[in-house]
Amino acid sequence: MAANPLRQAWTKYCARKTRKGIVSDFVFLAIVVTLLWPTAREGLQVYAIRASMFQPKPMREVAFLDSADWTAQLTDADGRPVCIGQPLGRPMLISIGATWCVQSRAELASQQRLINAYADSIEVVMVTDEEPAEALAYMTRHSYGHRLLFCPDESEPMRGVKSIPTTLLVAPNGRILIRKVGAAKWNGSVVRRTIDSLLHDRQ
């Protein structure tokens, strides 16, 4: 049986190169790819952010969302006026972000794992100021189950939020248990223990 020419070429390449040289070649190739293809660059950025994400830490100080936050004027995908609304006895994860933001993209998958794990026991909301069609297309393409709410132009989705992503884990009574600016690993043990404690207290 004839040898695979690709395997032969790879064997010869490895014989000529040190391990450091092989790594350098692949790094150079990755740089070239990211320069030539913007979509590949975004994918590598998301991968790098995911690899460096840590679990968020619970807040030490006591803080609550008030009625102005719950009733902030937003819209659904059809343009109908809505608000975040109180979580009706369920913990709520509120992510203020955008599907064009690489840090938001990086953490969406970990938030989806919470949706998969807790189903209807929690509510996961994403608030964004982008065009509904673009956000819906991205979320559908990646099978993310967040409830999407849209913020009117030049208005703050929540007081004090100045950068995205900003994500809050909120107890049923409105207390902010975790607040994180920037991408984070939301399906880790810290967040899960916090949610489990809330669900246990509800029983």
More confident residue, 187 or 152: 187
Instruction: Give residue-wise pLDDT tens across range 116-162.
Output: 999 889 999 999 989 999 999 999 999 999 999 998 765 566 667 78
What domains can be seen in the chain, in order of their start residue?
5-52 (no CATH), 67-202 (3.40.30.10)
What pairing do the DSSP bridges indicate for beta strands 74-75 and 176-181? unpaired
Give the span between the Cα atoms of 66 and 131, in whole angstroms: 27
Give the span between the Cα atoms of 102 and 77, in whole angstroms: 22
When computed from its CA atoms, the radius of gyration of the chain, rounded to whole angstroms, is 22
Residue with tokens 């994180």: 180
Task: Name the least confident of 13-17, 46-50, 69-73, 81-85.
Answer: 46-50
CA distances from 156 to 66, 69, 152, 162, 187 (A): 15, 10, 8, 8, 27
Instruction: Give residue-wise pLDDT tens across range 48-67.
Output: 777 788 999 999 999 888 87
Q: Which residues pair with 128 in a beta bridge?
A: 150
